C-alpha cells in the first residue's frame, strides 16, 4: 500500500515528463534531426535517469534523512547541524538552503502550468480545430485544481495510486509497441553511444542536454516525500515500475522519430493509435493534475516548515484531515501560486515556450541539494575528505553541466523562474533578518526576569486568582507584556508561567521532550516548549504536560498575555531601507501569534510595544 501511495504522489512530476521532454530536443531546430542525433538523445535520456535519479537520489541523497524526513528544509537542517561549530559556513549554508526553498516555490508555479498545458495540447493532435480552446481549458483545469485545495486531498488521494499505475503501464506499453517495430533503437541503451556523440559533437550535445534535463524534473520529490512513505517503498516503486516505464517510453519515442522524422513535433501523442488519442489526453490530464497536486501539497508543507524555522511570516494553516497531520492547507500560498500559474500560462501560452523556463530552476535546485549533501557526508557522517568529495563531486559536475546547458535558455524564458525565486528569497531573507534584529533589540532593552521578580516581590503586588501565561521571545528575559501588564493593571496572577517557544532543526520533538520547567519562586516558572519543524504548534496542549510541576491548569482560569510588536523602520538601521519597509509590511500582515499557537481567542490579551530596527 505504501508503494502504491508512493507511485501516486512521488512520481507524478517525473512521470509526466515524457509529454514534452523528448519533443524539446528538436523543437527549436538547433539540434539537427538525424538518426544519429535521435539515438544519441535517447541514450542521454536513459542514462540521465540512471545516473541522476537511480544513483544520486535513490543511492545517495535518500540516505541523508533527518529522522526519516526528506526535502530541502530537512536537508538544510541536517547539514547546518553538522557544521554547527563553523558559524560562517553555517550562515552561507542557510542562505543557500533558503534560496533552494525559494526555487522550490518557483517550481510550484511552473510545474502545474507546463504539465497541464502539455497534456491539454494533445487535443490539437486529435483535431487541429481544438487549438483555440487549449488555453481556456488548461486555465479552467488549473483554476479548479487550486479552488478545491481548501477541501483537502484525502478523498482524492486514494485514487492517485491506481491512476498513476495505469499511466505508467500505458507509458511502457505504447513505447514497447514502437520498439518492436524499430528494434535498432535499443542501441541507445548503451552509454557508449551518448559518450561518443558528446565527444564528436560537444556543441550539439551541450544544447541537447538542456532538453534532456526535462526528464529529471520531479526527481527531488523522491527525497522530499520520503517521510510520508519511507525509503523502501519509493525505491521499489522506482525500480519495479516507474523507471522501466519511462525508459520504454523514451525508447519508443526515439523509435517513432527514427521511422517518421515529422513525428518529432509531438512524439508522445503520436505513439498512440488514433482511436486511443482522446482517452490518452484525458488520462494525461488526470496524471498532470495529480503531479501538480503533489507539488502544491509540497509547497504547503515547505511553507509551514519555513514559518516554524522563522524564514517566512506566520500564515493561517488549516488542517484538512483529522487523521493525517501532514495534510494542510495554507490559503495565502494557494492563491499566490494560482496567480503565478495563471501569469505563467498567459505569458508563455504554450508548453514549448514554457520548457525553456522550466529546466533552469530545477537544475540549480539540484546543484544546491548536492552541495548540502556534501556537508552531511563530510561533517555529519564524518567520512574522510577524499571520500566525501568523490561521493558528491561527480554528481555536482553533472549537475553543473546540466545547469550550464539550461543557462543558455535564460533569455528565452529562463529568467522567469529565477526572478520568482529571487523575489521569494528576498522575502525569506528579509523576514529572518528582521526577526533577528527584533530579538537583538529585545535583548538590548530587556530586564533579566529573575532580577525583575526579585525587585517586584520585595514589595509584593496584589495577587488575583488564575494562571497567567506570558509569551517571551527570549528565555530568562522579562517579556514586555509583563511590564505593560504591571504598569496598567498593577496586579499579578496567583500563578505565572513565562513561556518561550523554540523551533528546532529536527522534524519532530518527542512528547516527553516537549517541555522544560524551571521554578523561579513565588509561584512563577520559566517554561520552554520545544517543537520540530514538522510538529503542529499547539501551546495549550503542550502546557498540559507541565501540570505535574506547576499544578492543574484550568482553561477557564488561564489567560495568555502576548506582546504585539509594532516595527518602526529607521534610517541607518540593521537593513537597507527598502528591506526595513518590506519587513514592516510583512509584520503587519502576518497571522496573529495567538492563531499560530492555537490559543483560545477568548483568553488572549495582547499588549503592544514599538520596536525600532
The predicted-structure confidence for 150-161, as pLDDT tens digits, reads as follows: 876 555 556 788
Indicate if the pLDDT at residue 249 is higher than 80. Answer: yes
Indicate whether 187 belongs to any domain.
yes
Strand 492-504, strand 317-319: pairing = unpaired
Residue 438 lies in a domain: no
Do 362 and 257 fall within a single domain? Answer: yes
598 and 553 Cβ atoms separated by less than 8 Å: no
Mean pLDDT within 254-278: 92
On the question of pLDDT at 193 being above 70, the answer is yes
Number of other CB atoms surrounding residue 461 within 10 Å: 12
The answer to whether 57 and 223 are in contact (CB under 8 A) is yes
- Of 431, 458, 492, which marks where a domain is finished? 431
Judged against a pLDDT cut of 80, whether residue 532 lies above it is answered with: yes
Buried/exposed code over 77-98 (b: 16+ C-beta within 10 A; e: otherwise)? bbbbbbbeeeeebbeebbebbb
> Are 465 and 400 part of one and the same domain?
no
In which residue are the cell numbers 481549458 written? 137
Residues 194-212: what's their mean pLDDT?
90
369 lies in the same domain as 463: no
Specify whether 408 is located in the same domain as 473. no
- Containing structural domain, residue 571: 447-612
- Using the structure block, give the residue that is written with the C-alpha cell 496573529: 592
384 and 529, same domain (yes or no): no
Counting Cβ atoms within 10 Å, is residue 563 exposed (0-12), middle (13-18) or buried (19+)?
Answer: buried
DSSP H helical ranges for 349-474: 351-375, 385-407, 415-444, 449-456
Q: pLDDT class for 267, splitting at 50, 70, 90?
A: very high
| Domain tally, the chain | 2
Tell me the mean pLDDT in the region 291-314. Answer: 86
Report which DSSP code applies to 409: T
Residue 354 banded pLDDT, cuts 50, 70, 90 = confident
Region 194-208: mean pLDDT is: 90
400 plus 477 within the same structural domain: no
Q: What is the CATH number of the domain that holds 264?
A: 1.20.1740.10
Report the C-alpha gap between 104 and 239 in whole angstroms.
Answer: 25
- Kindly report, residue by residue over 81-104, the tens digit of the pLDDT: 888 778 888 888 888 989 999 998
Give the mean pLDDT of 520-545.
92
Distance from C-alpha of 120 to C-alpha of 135, rounded to nearest angstrom: 8
Residues 317, 459 within the same domain:
no
C-alpha closest to that of 404 among 192, 219, 213, 218: 213
Mean pLDDT in residue range 437-462? 86
**Residue 234 and residue 370 in one domain:** yes
H or E segment to which residue 305 belongs: helix 277-308
The strand pair at 524-532 and 515-521 is best described as antiparallel
Q: Would 135 be classed as within a structural domain? A: yes
Q: How far, in Å, CA of 428 to CA of 302, rounded?
A: 12
The pLDDT of residue 206 is above 80: yes
Q: How confident is the model at residue 469 (pLDDT cuts 50, 70, 90)?
A: very high
Strands (E), 136-243: none
For 515-575, give the secondary structure using H, E and C.
EEEEEEECCEEEEEEEEECCCCCCHHHHHHHHHHHHCCCCHHHEEEEEEEEEEECCCCCCC
Residues 386 and 453 in one domain: no
Exposure pattern of 376-404 as b/e (b: 16+ CB <10 Å)? bbbbbeebeeeebeebbeebbebbeebbe
Mean pLDDT value across the chain: 89
Which cell numbers hold the place of 499? 513561556
Amino acid at each position: 500500500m505504501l508503494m502504491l501511495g508512493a507511485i501516486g504522489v512521488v512520481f507524478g512530476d517525473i512521470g509526466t515528463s515524457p509529454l514534452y521532454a523528448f519533443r524539446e530536443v528538436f523543437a527549436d531546430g538547433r539540434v539537427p534531426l538525424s538518426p544519429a542525433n535521435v539515438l544519441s538523445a535517447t541514450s542521454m535520456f536513459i542514462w540521465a535517469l540512471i545516473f541522476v535519479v537511480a544513483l544520486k537520489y535513490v543511492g545517495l541523497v535518500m540516505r541523508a534523512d533527518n529522522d526519516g524526513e526528506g526535502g530541502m528544509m530537512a536537508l538544510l537542517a541536517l547539514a547546518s547541524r553538522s557544521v554547527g561549530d563553523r558559524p560562517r559556513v553555517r550562515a552561507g549554508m542557510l542562505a543557500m538552503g533558503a534560496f533552494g526553498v525559494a526555487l522550490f516555490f518557483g517550481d510550484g508555479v511552473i510545474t502545474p502550468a507546463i504539465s497541464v498545458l502539455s497534456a491539454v495540447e494533445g487535443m490539437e493532435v486529435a483535431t487541429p480545430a481544438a487549438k483555440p480552446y487549449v488555453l481556456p481549458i488548461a486555465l479552467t483545469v488549473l483554476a479548479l485544481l487550486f479552488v478545491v485545495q481548501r477541501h483537502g486531498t484525502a478523498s482524492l488521494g486514494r485514487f492517485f495510486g491506481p491512476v498513476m499505475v495505469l499511466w505508467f503501464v500505458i507509458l511502457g506499453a505504447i513505447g514497447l509497441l514502437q520498439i518492436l517495430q524499430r528494434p535498432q533503437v535499443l542501441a541507445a541503451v548503451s552509454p557508449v553511444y551518448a559518450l561518443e556523440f558528446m565527444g564528436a559533437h560537444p556543441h550539439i550535445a551541450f544544447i541537447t542536454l538542456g532538453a534532456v534535463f526535462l526528464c529529471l524534473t520531479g526527481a527531488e520529490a523522491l527525497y522530499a516525500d520520503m517521510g510520508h512513505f519511507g525509503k523502501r517503498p519509493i525505491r521499489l516503486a522506482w525500480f519495479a515500475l516507474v523507471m522501466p516505464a519511462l525508459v520504454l517510453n523514451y525508447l519508443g519515442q526515439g523509435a517513432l522519430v527514427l521511422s517518421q522524422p515529422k513525428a518529432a513535433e509531438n512524439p508522445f501523442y503520436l505513439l498512440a493509435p488514433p482511436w486511443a488519442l482522446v482517452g490518452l489526453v484525458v488520462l494525461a490530464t488526470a496524471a498532470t493534475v495529480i503531479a501538480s497536486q503533489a507539488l502544491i501539497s509540497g509547497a504547503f508543507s515547505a511553507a509551514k516548515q519555513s514559518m516554524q524555522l522563522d524564514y517566512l511570516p506566520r500564515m493561517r494553516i488549516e488542517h484538512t484531515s483529522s487523521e493525517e497531520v501532514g495534510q494542510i492547507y495554507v490559503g495565502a500560498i494557494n492563491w499566490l501560486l494560482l496567480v503565478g500559474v495563471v501569469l505563467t500560462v498567459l505569458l508563455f501560452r504554450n508548453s514549448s515556450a514554457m520548457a525553456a523556463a522550466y529546466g533552469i530552476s530545477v537544475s540549480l535546485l539540484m546543484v544546491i541539494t548536492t552541495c548540502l549533501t556534501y556537508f552531511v557526508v563530510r561533517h555529519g557522517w564524518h567520512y574522510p575528505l577524499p571520500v566525501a568529495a568523490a561521493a558528491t563531486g561527480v554528481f555536482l559536475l553533472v549537475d553543473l553541466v546540466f545547469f550550464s546547458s539550461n543557462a543558455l535558455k535564460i533569455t528565452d524564458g529562463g529568467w522567469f523562474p529565477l526572478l520568482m525565486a529571487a523575489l521569494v528569497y528576498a522575502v525569506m531573507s528579509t523576514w529572518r533578518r528582521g526577526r533577528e534584529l527584533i530579538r537583538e533589540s529585545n535583548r538590548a532593552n530587556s530586564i533579566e526576569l529573575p532580577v525583575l521578580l526579585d525587585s517586584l516581590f520585595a514589595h509584593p503586588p496584589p495577587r488575583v486568582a488564575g494562571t497567567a501565561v506570558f509569551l517571551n521571545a527570549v528565555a530568562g528575559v522579562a517579556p514586555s507584556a509583563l511590564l505593560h501588564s504591571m504598569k496598567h493593571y498593577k496586579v499579578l496572577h496567583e500563578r505565572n508561567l513565562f513561556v518561550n517557544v523554540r523551533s528546532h532543526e529536527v522534524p519532530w520533538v518527542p512528547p516527553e521532550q516537549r517541555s522544560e520547567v524551571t521554578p523561579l519562586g513565588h509561584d512563577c516558572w520559566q517554561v520552554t516548549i520545544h517543537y520540530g519543524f514538522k510538529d503542529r504548534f499547539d501551546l495549550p496542549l503542550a502546557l498540559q504536560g507541565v501540570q505535574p510541576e506547576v499544578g492543574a491548569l484550568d482553561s477557564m482560569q488561564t489567560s495568555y498575555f502576548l506582546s504585539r510588536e509594532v516595527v518602526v523602520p529607521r534610517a541607518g538601521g540593521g537593513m537597507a531601507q527598502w528591506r526595513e519597509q518590506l519587513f514592516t509590511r510583512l509584520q503587519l500582515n502576518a497571522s496573529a501569534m495567538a492563531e499560530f499557537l492555537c490559543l483560545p481567542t477568548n483568553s488572549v490579551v495582547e499588549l503592544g510595544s514599538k520596536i525600532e530596527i
